[in-house]
Structure 1
């Protein structure tokens, strides 16, 4: 199993993972990593190792601390006018830089997580209702 890493402006680097390393990856404990790296990084590394061990793909990128309304709308997969409505209603905090509206990336991601949590809760309620009514498919 191999992965290709590309650093902007630099050459590509190929990482190869052997079958032995894949087996070892399943037993990585984030607590053991915390002595060498910060706890949050240890959790991320353990998750990356688990995904790679399962044959998955991991993509790592960076995000600016603030984004435009166009970028935020794209992140949320909604239209810019819908985003502006959410900002106007106070659902997502935003601020002005001159005449331009900007949002903190963390606020956009937090809103996205709140939406997913609400969707999961609604789905769980629907399943509970179906179970209560004896509905099977």
Structure 2
């Protein structure tokens, strides 16, 4: 618990010092910066509020449950569930991308379209961060 608090505090300090930059990953894996950097001192009323440790823990638990639900719905083996959860915990990217990447890594081919259709999500959202997960 103390490690999370310390990491959260460092993240808050970095946000205050450096501001934020929105980054997107296109289908080829290239990074793009669609919005200019927002400095911490600029527009104080529009500053992003960092998550507290409890808020982060709640969000992590919520999305971990979503990963488990999707893996159960598709009847994936436990190995895929474990891999997907490890990706999610390591990268905190889109949780569906972690499930999709886990299927690829564990050699259980399911297309992004199938996953998206199964849970009524656009498959482009799944593919958007795939390269970032697989390259890491």
TM-score tier after normalising by the smaller chain length = under 0.3
| Larger RCO of the pair (alpha carbons < 8 Å, separation 6+) | 2
Determine which structure has more spread, i.e. the larger CA radius of gyration. 1
TM-score (norm. length: structure 1): 0.24
